Amino acid sequence: MALSLPATMRTTAARLSALYFLLFALCAVLLVFYMTSLSARMLTGQTQQTINDEVLGLARAYQRGGLPVLVRVVEQRSRQPGANLYLIADANGQILTGNVQSLEPGVLETDGWTTEPFSYRRFGEGELERQRNQAADPNGAQPGETEIQSEGEKGHNAIALVLRLPNQMIMLVGRDLGEPERFRAVIRRALMLALGMMGLGGLLIWFLVGRTALKRIDSVSEASRRIMGGDLTGRLPVTGAGDEFDRLSENLNTMLARIATLNEGLKQVSDNIAHDLKTPLTRLRNRAEATLSGKHKTTDYRQALEGTIAESDQLIKTFNAILMISRLEAGYSSESTSKVDLAAAVRDVVELYEPVAEEAGVELETSVEGDFTVNGNRELIGQALSNIVDNAIKYSTDATEKPAVRVALQRVGHDIRLSVADNGHGIPDDADRARATERFVRLEKSRSQPGSGLGLSLAKAIMTFHNGKLELLPANPGLSVIMSFPAREDH
């Protein structure tokens, strides 16, 4: 823990916890100050109100009977337990009556409210208290002046209203501040405690978040570092909790899978270019070289050039097919899709190939059950289907019985199935059948047939683009190529 602390301090949780803690602390401190000052102000206001009432009562007494009555009332009130501070002094500040023994110097010189709390000593009640203390605790401190002195020195704070009576006499009515002071201290203590607990909570949260949640982020970044290191098969951990981290990992994993697919496609394209385009290019170059060396007739040159053109045309076709497959695999813009009538597409392609089939002695049958529309691209679907029909016609010619190609369009469950079946030898081997849609794969017995080896791969890419599937199944005899389209929602 101690060793990992610097690293832990760098984590987001540590930073966030620290920030939250600081913010909370600041708020708490502000709150403490606000609360204490507010409550103090409130209590002071109350005190002043009490004093005002008191003074009002005394003023009435003075009006009723002049100074003697006032003195009597003051003396009376002074003796009540928990009484306010009363003091009447002459013009020289000599105390005449009241329950105040001594005052902070200068208080009597003020007129009206004392601005600051002042300290004072009172008698009477202090005496009483001392006696009560002594009664409760007989072995207590020695009675005497020292006791009062010390208690007085400990200090009472009060605020007071100082009034000048008409005959130069001074009257002070005040109230002890002991109570508000205590109240303020209680609040302050409570808030300090709360602040401490908040701090503790912050530390705890930091510890929990840092230890659990961030551990997972760390594991994700660790895994991504491995993947960045070149291991594209690596995946981010998914705990199965289904929380944000899992969702993040799942999405990143999907992205990685997509990247891996694209990467694989790119690799395949470069492999294809290296192998299947280099070979004919070499052939092209060799032919040109051979024609240049040695003596030839003009017709030979013409023939060689025509051969060159034919070969380069084939190369262009192959190149276009590769480009198209990778574009389709990388995701085509959906702008080029619209409603496509599959039945019409089948009719068009079959009609296009009818004469070819007839010439090859192949019977081309169609069965379209109903009306089918899918979201897609008519050109692409036509191209895929014509590639498949083209293949089927070629490979049905070696059939033992009358060669036939059957194109069927029907709905199977949620799919719209377009199948093209021939009755030739088919592809008996399962592995071969699986491989047949890969790029440039030309199974041994098809080597004699013309073609680039891209027809089925292109058809497969087109089907993937349409969110469909291309499957090769044995048709006994022959091969059945099935294009499955997802049915349109509104159909």
Partner 1 sequence: MLERKLFTLMAAPQSSSEIAYNGSMKILVIEDDREAADYMQKAFTEAGHTAHVAGDGETGFALADAGDYDVMVVDRMMPRRDGLSVIAGLRSRGNTTPVLILSALGEVDDRVTGLRAGGDDYLTKPYAFSELLARVEVLNRRASAREAETVYRVGDLELDRLSHSVKRAAREITLQPREFRLLEYLMRHAGQVVTRTMLLENVWDYHFDPQTNVIDVHVSRLRGKIEKGFDKPILHTVRGAGYMLKS
Sites of contact with partner 1 (CB under 8 A): 306, 309, 313, 316-317, 320, 324, 327, 332-333, 335-336, 348, 351-353, 355-356, 359, 377, 379-380, 382-383, 386-387, 390-391, 393-394, 450-452, 455
Q: How far is the CB of 385 from partner 1 (least distance, A)?
A: 11
In this structure, what are the phi and psi dihedrals at residue 49, rounded to the nearest 5 degrees?
-60, -45
Query: Residue 55 or residue 356: which is nearer to partner 1 going by CB?
Result: 356
Query: Residue 184 or residue 378: which is nearer to partner 1 going by CB?
Result: 378
Q: How far is the CB of 448 from partner 1 (least distance, A)?
A: 15
Query: Residue 363 or residue 379: which is nearer to partner 1 going by CB?
Result: 379
Cβ pair 407, 389 in contact under 8 A:
yes
Nearest Cα residue to 47 out of 184, 220, 177: 177
Q: How far is the CB of 4 from partner 1 (least distance, A)?
A: 55
Query: Residue 317 or residue 435: which is nearer to partner 1 going by CB?
Result: 317
Distance CA 371, CA 268 (A): 38
Q: How far is the CB of 468 from partner 1 (least distance, A)?
A: 17
At position 489, the amino acid (one-letter code) is E
The pairing of beta strand 404-412 with beta strand 469-474: unpaired
Q: How far is the CB of 219 from partner 1 (least distance, A)?
A: 42
- Joined together, the tokens standing for residue 92 give 């020289």
Provide the Cα torsion 3, 4, 10, 13; round to 10°: -130
Query: Residue 300 or residue 313: which is nearer to partner 1 going by CB?
Result: 313
Distance CA 27, CA 188 (A): 14
Cβ pair 188, 106 in contact under 8 A:
no
Distance CA 308, CA 316 (A): 12
Query: Residue 179 or residue 363: which is nearer to partner 1 going by CB?
Result: 363
Cβ pair 143, 161 in contact under 8 A:
no
Cβ pair 98, 160 in contact under 8 A:
no
- One DSSP character per residue, 87-105 reads EEE-TT--EEEESEEEE-T
Query: Residue 36 or residue 457: which is nearer to partner 1 going by CB?
Result: 457
Q: How far is the CB of 272 from partner 1 (least distance, A)?
A: 18
The sign of the CA dihedral 418, 422, 423, 425 is negative
Query: Residue 114 or residue 377: which is nearer to partner 1 going by CB?
Result: 377
Q: How far is the CB of 449 from partner 1 (least distance, A)?
A: 10
Q: How far is the CB of 354 from partner 1 (least distance, A)?
A: 9
Cβ pair 428, 474 in contact under 8 A:
yes
**Extended beta strands in 253-403, E state:** 338-341, 363-368, 373-376
Q: How far is the CB of 235 from partner 1 (least distance, A)?
A: 33
Q: How many CB atoms lie within 10 A of CB 333?
A: 7
Q: How far is the CB of 313 from partner 1 (least distance, A)?
A: 7
Query: Residue 103 or residue 393: which is nearer to partner 1 going by CB?
Result: 393
What are residue 156's DSSP bridge partners?
A: 120
Distance CA 350, CA 231 (A): 47
Distance CA 366, CA 410 (A): 11
Query: Residue 161 or residue 463: which is nearer to partner 1 going by CB?
Result: 463
